[in-house]
């Protein structure tokens, strides 16, 4: 600890204190030191110390784009501690700004959901998600304070019996009753409470179902269902919420009357006949993927483009793809070309990825290959780890037949996307050995070329 000079106290938790410190080279960091609150009985200290150790190790392993990284630590001294980058602000501060301006930072909401999905995909549950534990660092909102994180099944060790630490205002009702058995749905409840912080106007009653005015109110209600089985998964939640937030923000409005009519008709696509599909295919064929949306000329990315394509629901795309005919092939090819060649606002890259995932999951080998290359391009150009991981998860040898793996590898080579594919692997630190053999070959060839 002598390497760091204490500057000020930032905050205190149940068993830790966070201070701003300055290193010998003049850089500022945040240090969290194990220091149980006075209300915690001394006979719980050893259990909490083990939990603190687990927090540091977990955060160090997962830290990066979605989780605050650990840059230094000492877990063996009398007062264990670890060092994180100093965040620019908390999400609590961002919510205050949003409510004052009447706008919503969609990037922040998307980043929080990406962080949750990252944890949930690995089998972890945060269990103490609240605005103070979401920090802005290097252009991304990242989850922190993993002291209450529940490890995947089979790795849980009861370290805290008799001592539960959570934030009541964001705690799911089932977590209150049995803190140690909370599942991913408990984090969804907490996220719904965060949405209530942004959009709600009523005082929140803990452990109950929440709501708010407008379309987001329905999302909040689903997230905060008292029965955890009725809450949506983080994947389903992302698609629903980001689309609504984009609508609220006025982004990518479909002002063309004919396009608006088709969006309405897509809601009942399961009732279409062959004439309906043919008519839609002709409409889709005339769409220009070069079309730009007014009002985004000054964005740091080019602009959102082709308003209709940004609004096509994933469920409608999945239905179209499942037909697997000539009309489907033309629609898929055009959508994938648009997705891989367009610059989007960050959160929209995530929603486009959800639609590409629907094409992959329901499509033919040809459709799967086109969707994967589009995700490769999208993840690489926007530097979105969420998109990269969604793509790589579909390229694993245990879920991919050798034939489709070969088809995807050929598509990557044909599209000259080898460098982008390689970067997706290296950026996310993906275990290359889990990928299909033909995709491993692409990685190794590029690895040898760059001298990695």
User: Closest Cα partner for 59 from 143, 3, 121, 129?
Assistant: 143
Provide φ and ψ at 71, rounded to 5°.
-105, -15
Whole-structure pTM value: 0.83
Say if CB 255 and CB 304 are below 8 A apart: no
pLDDT digits (tens, 9 = 90+) for 41-89: 888 888 889 889 988 999 999 988 899 999 999 999 889 999 999 999 9
Which one-letter DSSP state was computed for residue 50?
H
Task: Return d(Cα 388, Cα 118) in angstroms, integer.
Answer: 12
| CB-based contact 113:22 (threshold 8 Å) | no
The predicted pLDDT at position 157 comes to 38
Tokens of 10: 């930032």
Residues of the chain with pLDDT under 70: 1, 14, 150-166, 179, 249-255, 291-306, 452
CA-based torsion, 152, 143, 180, 54: positive or negative: positive
Predicted pLDDT of residue 271: 94
Of the candidates 125, 117, 158, 144, the one whose C-alpha atom is nearest the C-alpha of residue 59 is 144
* All residues at 6 or more sequence positions from 130 whose CB lies less than 8 Å from its CB, including other chains: 167, 169, 170, 190, 193, 194
- pLDDT for the residue numbered 253: 62
At 1 the pLDDT is 56
Residues in the chain: 452
- Position 153 scores a pLDDT of 52
Cβ atoms of 29 and 41 within 8 Å: the answer is: no
* Distances, alpha carbon 28 to alpha carbons 20, 72, 146, in Å: 7, 13, 22
Distance between CA atoms of residues 226 and 230, nearest Å: 8
Distance CA 258, CA 196 (A): 36
With CA atoms as reference, report the closest residue to 428 among 64, 166, 134, 5. Answer: 64
Helices (H) and strands (E) in the chain, counts: 18, 8
In the chain, the domains with their CATH numbers are: 4-85 (3.30.200.20), 89-245 (1.10.510.10), 252-450 (1.25.10)
pLDDT reported for residue 249? 64
- Helix (H, G, I), strand (E, B), or coil: what is residue 343? coil
- What are the residues whose beta carbons fall under 8 Å from the beta carbon of 9, sequence distance 6 or more? 17, 18, 19, 20
Across the chain, which distance is largest between two alpha carbons, in Å? Answer: 76
Amino acid 173: pLDDT: 93
Phi first, then psi, for residue 11 (nearest 5°) are 180, 170
d(CA 198, CA 201): 9
What angle in degrees, to the nearest 10, is found between the helix axes of 402-414 and 365-382?
Answer: 50
Q: Look-up: residue for tokens 């264990």?
A: 80
Structure confidence at residue 279 (pLDDT): 94
**pLDDT given for residue 44 in this prediction:** 83
* Cα 282 to Cα 284: distance, rounded to the nearest angstrom: 5
Q: Label the pairing between strands 81-85 and 4-12.
A: unpaired
Per-residue model confidence (pLDDT) at position 292: 63
| Residue spans of alpha helices (H) in 80-183 | 91-101, 106-121, 173-177
φ, ψ of residue 9 to 5 degrees: the values are: -85, 135
Q: By the 8 A CB rule, do 320 and 302 touch?
A: no
pLDDT score, position 372: 98
Q: How far apart are CA 195 and CA 274, in angstroms?
A: 42
């Amino acid at each position: 600890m002598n390497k760091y000079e204490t500057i000020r106290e930032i905050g205190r938790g149940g068993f830790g204190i966070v201070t701003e410190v300055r290193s010998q080279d003049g850089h500022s960091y945040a240090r969290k030191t194990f220091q149980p609150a006075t209300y915690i009985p001394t006979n719980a200290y050893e259990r909490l110390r083990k939990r603190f150790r687990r927090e540091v190790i977990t955060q160090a392993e997962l830290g990066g784009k979605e989780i605050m990284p650990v840059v230094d630590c000492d877990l063996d001294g009398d007062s264990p501690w670890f060092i994180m980058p100093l965040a620019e602000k908390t999400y609590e501060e961002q919510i205050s700004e949003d409510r004052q301006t009447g706008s919503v930072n969609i990037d922040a909401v998307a980043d929080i959901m990406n962080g949750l999905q990252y944890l949930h995909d690995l089998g972890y549950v945060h269990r103490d998600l609240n605005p103070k534990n979401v920090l802005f660092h290097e252009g991304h909102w990242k989850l922190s304070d993993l002291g209450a994180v529940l490890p995947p099944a089979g790795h849980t060790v009861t370290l805290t019996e008799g001592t539960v630490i959570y934030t009541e205002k964001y705690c799911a009702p089932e977590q209150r009753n049995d803190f140690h058995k909370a599942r991913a749905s408990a984090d969804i409840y907490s996220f719904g409470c965060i949405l209530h912080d942004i959009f709600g106007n009523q005082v929140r009653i803990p452990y109950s179902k929440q709501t708010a005015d407008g379309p987001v109110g329905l999302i909040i209600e689903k997230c905060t269902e008292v029965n955890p089985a009725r809450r949506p998964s983080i994947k389903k939640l992302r698609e629903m919420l980001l689309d609504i937030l984009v609508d609220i923000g006025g982004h990518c409005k479909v002002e063309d009357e004919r396009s608006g009519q088709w969006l309405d008709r897509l809601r009942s696509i399961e009732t279409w006949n062959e004439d309906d599909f043919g008519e839609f295919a002709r409409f889709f064929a005339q769409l220009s993927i070069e079309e730009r949306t007014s009002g985004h000329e000054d964005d740091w990315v080019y602009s959102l483009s082709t308003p209709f394509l940004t609004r096509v629901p994933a469920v409608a795309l999945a239905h179209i793809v499942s037909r697997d005919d000539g009309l489907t092939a033309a629609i898929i090819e055009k959508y994938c070309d648009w997705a891989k060649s367009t610059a989007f606002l960050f959160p929209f890259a995530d929603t486009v990825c959800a639609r590409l995932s629907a094409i992959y999951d329901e499509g033919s080998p040809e459709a799967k290959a086109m969707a994967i290359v589009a995700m490769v391009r999208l993840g690489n150009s926007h530097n979105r780890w969420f998109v990269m991981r969604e793509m790589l998860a579909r390229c694993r040898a245990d879920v991919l037949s050798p034939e489709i793996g070969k088809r995807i590898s050929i598509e990557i080579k044909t599209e000259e996307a080898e460098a982008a594919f390689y970067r997706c692997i290296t950026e996310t630190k993906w275990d290359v050995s889990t990928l299909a053999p033909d995709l491993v070959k692409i990685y190794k060839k590029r690895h040898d070329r760059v001298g990695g």
